[in-house]
Structure 1
Amino acid sequence: MIRLIGILAGLFFTVAVLWAFGNGAYTAITEPAAPTAEHEFHKHPRELSLASDGPFGRFDKQQLQRGLQVYKEVCSACHSLHFVAFRDLAALGYNEPEIKAIAAGFQVPGVDPNTGEANTRPGLSTDYFPNPYPNDIAARAANNNAVPPDLSLMTKARHDGGAYVYSLLTGYQKQPAELLKKFPDVKTPEGLHYNPYFANLNLAMAPPLTSEGQVSYGDGTKATVDQMAKDVAAFLVWTAEPKLDKRKQTGWPVLGFLIFATVLAYLAKQQVWADKKVKKG
């Protein structure tokens, strides 16, 4: 009797699940969801070509240094790099004195050795890029109630990584008249900024790159908004995966070894079973 009740209960739940699935599918087909502004006006990231792209790509250290400069002079006012230590910048071609000078340009949390009270001090090469705000409350107060995200892994956390960062930084614009005509209730709220490359179209961050020459590149590269956006996007690709070059350098020999081992194993198999095939014939 108990077994019968169990079978009936299982059948009941199976039928209920199938009915719910069928009803949902029927509703989705016959009553499609109403179009939304986000669905119609959100854009996929623009194409971005970086030296690190592709299986043979390598980081362009000069571009990464320019990207670091853009981060230091523009982005670091709001965004942190929690997972990047100043000493990691050696991979970008900086020597020890240069790294110490870069670190000293940042104030990091410290402790007064005399009083034991919290304070700030110039950064050391062993420190990590600091958060510009002491806590989330201060961050919200300074950014229209939004907490600026850490950028260390941003290009790994977003689809199309570097292209997303590049598109976002260069995508600020006025709301299209077509959008306001079709969706009059989605006007960008005061304090936000329209950007079609952001998921919900409205972004709390004001345009950080606003004019040509906002930074002065030491290598003579013209600092247009487009160039600065590309450079900082390349830099954030590096912060998210600093071992990319070594991984590719290691990957190709490993792949070659695996191919060689596969061919060797096949030839060995042919040799071992050769007499068996002859006897069978």
Structure 2
Amino acid sequence: MLKKQGIAAIAALTLSAGAAFAAGGSGHVEDVNFSFEGPFGTYDQNQLQRGLKVYTEVCAACHGLKYVPIRTLADEGGPHLPEDQVRAYAGQFEIYDPELDDYRAAKVTDHFAASGDPNAPDLSLMAKKRAGFHGPYGTGINQLVRGMGGAEYIYTLLTSYHEPPDCAPEDFTGSYNAAFTAGGFPESCKNEDGSHMVPGSWIGMAQPLWGEDVEFDDGHENSLHHEAKDVAAFLMWTAEPKMMARKFSGLTGVIFLTILAVLLYLTNKRLWAPIKGRHEGDA
């Protein structure tokens, strides 16, 4: 049942984002070393394939990726699956076809299905919806150096489920998550001044990943932390599939502008050198 629920814990996260600060402020986000970070970072193809498997076997029952074409699984810079594997993957799913007014097997030209649970948000852009990093140097500078932190937020959320603290009543609704700040919080876990005695809050969805939920084809370790990191990287790719192309374009632009600036400076010196020398001679 837990696997079918997928990572719907993120549902409450998105729907309650506006209340996050009122419920206790921004929680701690683990700074994970992802391969795609930095100006020269790239997606790890094997990691994206592992993340796809976690999504397919654990998350897809509830959550959709309706903005992601299935054919992009074959793209370079992404999971880069062979064409025959992409066709086989698409054939696992059924999608509703308005022309047929019925369900049919998915094709590579289709998008991933939408969320099967109306309360479960689509995960296509989830890694861009959440900014995990803020301050202390200011949101802009900190995010420029460390990135938005959406993948880190997802990773932290999935690995921050714990047993409820002793201060909480046994029948309190939800599951305790030390990183989620927008959920319910029992009065028994508040001080006299109303401040929280423990971090996080109670999220409405049970823990979706426990470790060893899937078996990776490449034999990679499948502990909770590895599964969470892989699916977070995959969701970063679904949100930013052209990140590498944008980085390359940006770097090319910076190099071009630098060369142009040097040429303009040298041209300026050459054009004004005779005039400047004549004025100095007159003086």
Band of TM-score, shorter chain: 0.7 to 0.9
- Bigger mean CA offset, 88-97 vs 66-75: 88-97
- Bigger mean CA offset, 200-209 vs 224-233: 200-209
Deviation of the 1:220 alpha carbon? 0.6
- Residues 148-187 of structure 1 aligned to structure 2 (within 5 Å): 148-159=120-131, 160-177=149-166, 180=168
Q: Is the 8 A contact 1:89 1:99 kept in 2?
A: yes
2-structure distance, mates of 1:83, 1:241: 11
Q: 1:39 aligns with which of 20, 24, 29?
A: 24
Deviation of the 1:229 alpha carbon? 0.3
Deviation of the 1:43 alpha carbon? 2.5
The superposition leaves residues 186-239 of structure 1 with CA deviations (integer Å, 9 ceiling, x where unpaired) of: x8842x2221222312222221112x3211111011211111000000101111
Q: Is the 8 A contact 1:188 1:194 kept in 2?
A: no
Gap change, CA 1:269 and 1:123, over 3 Å in 2: same
Q: Is the 8 A contact 2:94 2:105 kept in 1?
A: yes
Q: 1:64 aligns with which of 43, 48, 53?
A: 48
**Secondary structure in structure 1 of the residue aligned to 2:103:** strand
The superposition leaves residues 35-80 of structure 1 with CA deviations (integer Å, 9 ceiling, x where unpaired) of: x99427x622112111111111011000000000000000111111
Q: 2:85 aligns with which of 98, 102, 117?
A: 98
Identical aligned pairs, as a percentage?
Answer: 39
Task: Show the counterpart of 1:119.
Answer: 102
Is 2:247 the counterpart of 1:268? no
1-structure distance, mates of 2:260, 2:52: 43
Structure number, greater radius of gyration: 1
1-structure distance, mates of 2:181, 2:102: 38
Q: Is the 8 A contact 2:115 2:122 kept in 1?
A: no
**Secondary structure in structure 1 of the residue aligned to 2:161:** coil
Gap change, CA 1:272 and 1:121, over 3 Å in 2: same
2-structure distance, mates of 1:207, 1:162: 18
2-structure distance, mates of 1:111, 1:258: 50
2-structure distance, mates of 1:44, 1:270: 53
The one-letter amino acid paired with 2:37 is D
**Secondary structure in structure 2 of the residue aligned to 1:77:** coil
Q: Which has the higher contact order (CA 8 A, sep 6+)?
A: 2
Q: Give the gaps of 5 or more residues in structure 1.
A: 1-35, 134-138, 141-146
TM-score (norm 1): 0.73
Task: Show the counterpart of 1:222.
Answer: 221
Gap change, CA 1:275 and 1:177, over 3 Å in 2: farther
Task: Show the counterpart of 1:86.
Answer: 70
- Residues 225-236 of structure 1 aligned to structure 2 (within 5 Å): 225-236=224-235
Alignment size in residue pairs: 222
2-structure distance, mates of 1:109, 1:119: 6
Q: 1:199 aligns with which of 181, 184, 193?
A: 181
Q: Which has the higher helix share?
A: 1
2-structure distance, mates of 1:168, 1:220: 25
2-structure distance, mates of 1:197, 1:208: 15
**Secondary structure in structure 2 of the residue aligned to 1:120:** strand
The one-letter amino acid paired with 1:259 is T
**Secondary structure in structure 1 of the residue aligned to 2:24:** helix
